[in-house]
């Protein structure tokens, strides 16, 4: 299942495991602080090892892979864009990822502005003047790419950590 060295993605959904079997008493929930502890210590270690630019590239790509897999295994299959967004909104809320809202959508140009309130990654963090949701950028890109079969670039333009009270992302087909 896991290899030490590899050049291609070997992740598959089964690697998440059988949570019901493995956690019969604790279930599938975990405190947000524990998630953030893993995320931000990993980010800190990666920055010290690889630098900010490479860390952001790796987090974005990891988010992209996660978004693609999330789409394939959890998002209700549909060709209708509004049903796709409705499905995402329910999943984001039910799974505690955040409250997703499509602020702008240009289906002809495939350009979108997406807002996430109560974002899992950063809502409630101290203002530091940075935008820290690089993984989320990739995650949204992966979701949109999987739905449209087009490659997307997503950039966070507002973040809780830069003083906003929501995370806002601009997405464009490449």
Distance separating alpha carbons of residues 40 and 120, to the nearest angstrom:
12
Of 132, 146, 147, 144, whose CA–CA distance to 171 is shortest?
A: 144
pLDDT surpassing 60 at residue 9: yes
Average pLDDT for the chain: 94
- Which domains are assigned to the chain? 13-173 (3.30.1380.20)
Dihedral of alpha carbons 34, 39, 40, 44, sign: positive
Provide the token pair at 76.
């209700």
- pTM across the whole model: 0.94
Distance separating alpha carbons of residues 156 and 133, to the nearest angstrom:
7
pLDDT surpassing 80 at residue 4: no
Distance separating alpha carbons of residues 71 and 50, to the nearest angstrom:
30
- pLDDT (average), residues 50-54: 96
- pLDDT (average), residues 26-39: 94
- pLDDT (average), residues 38-48: 96
Distance separating alpha carbons of residues 161 and 130, to the nearest angstrom:
6
Tens-digit pLDDT profile for residues 148-163 = 999 999 999 999 999 9
Tens-digit pLDDT profile for residues 58-100 = 999 999 999 999 999 999 999 999 999 999 999 999 999 999 9
pLDDT at 131: 82
Residue 161 DSSP label: G
What long-range pairs does 89-95 form, CB within 8 A, spacing at least 24? 92/116
């Amino acid at each position: 299942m896991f290899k030490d060295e590899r050049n291609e993605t070997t992740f598959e959904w089964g690697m998440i495991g059988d949570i019901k079997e493995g956690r019969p008493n604790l279930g599938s929930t975990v405190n947000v602080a524990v998630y953030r502890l893993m995320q931000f210590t990993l980010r800190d270690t990666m920055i010290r090892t690889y630098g900010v630019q490479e860390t952001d590239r790796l987090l974005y790509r990891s988010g992209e892979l996660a978004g693609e897999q999330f789409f394939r295994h959890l998002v209700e299959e549909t060709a209708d864009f509004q049903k796709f967004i409705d499905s995402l909104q329910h999943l984001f809320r039910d799974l505690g990822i955040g409250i997703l809202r499509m602020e702008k959508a240009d289906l002809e140009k495939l350009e979108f502005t997406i807002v996430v309130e109560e974002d899992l990654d950063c809502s409630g963090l101290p203002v530091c003047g940075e935008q820290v949701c690089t993984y989320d950028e990739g995650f949204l890109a992966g979701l949109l790419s999987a739905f449209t079969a087009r490659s997307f670039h997503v950039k966070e333009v507002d973040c809780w950590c830069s003083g906003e009270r929501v995370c806002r992302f601009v997405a464009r087909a490449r």
